[in-house]
Amino acid sequence: MKVEDANTIKTIEESRSMKVVEDANTIKTIGAFLVMVVGLVVIALVVMKIPVSAEGWKPSDVTTIVGSLTTFLGSVVGAFLGVQVGAAGKDKAEAARAKAEDTAKKALAALPPGDAERIARE
């Protein structure tokens, strides 16, 4: 296989893998958004079902509702950002690996054919 053919195949594989990564990121983002919306709707439904006395909302009721909202939102946002940071680290590592592989292929291409084949088999 020629070096040009290997580079073409590599470029096609990289573009496919980038498309998969983009699709996965889109799915994660939509999923996180849906979880947040569903959670907020559930909290809103619970708030609507809380019986309100003749005096209106008590401070303890408001504190409970605000605490529920901030706990839920903090947990979901923290988890989502944690996943995003982890994915960014993985993407950087993949890019470094691809660059090292490309450098190795270029170095092999610069060698005489017999030496390059011998090294590639090892």
C-alpha closest to that of 40 among 83, 69, 5: 69
Q: Is the dihedral of CA 112, 118, 121, 122 positive or negative?
A: negative
Over residues 25-83, the pLDDT tens digits come to 677 778 777 877 887 788 788 777 777 777 777 888 788 888 888 888 788 778 877 77
pLDDT at 1 over 70: no
pLDDT at 2 over 70: no
Cα(122)–Cα(113) distance, integer angstroms: 15
At residue 17, the pLDDT reads 59
The overall pTM is greater than 0.75: no
> Do residues 76 and 39 make contact, with C-beta atoms less than 8 angstroms apart?
yes
Over residues 99-115, the pLDDT tens digits come to 888 888 888 778 887 77
Q: Where are the domains of the chain?
A: 3-121
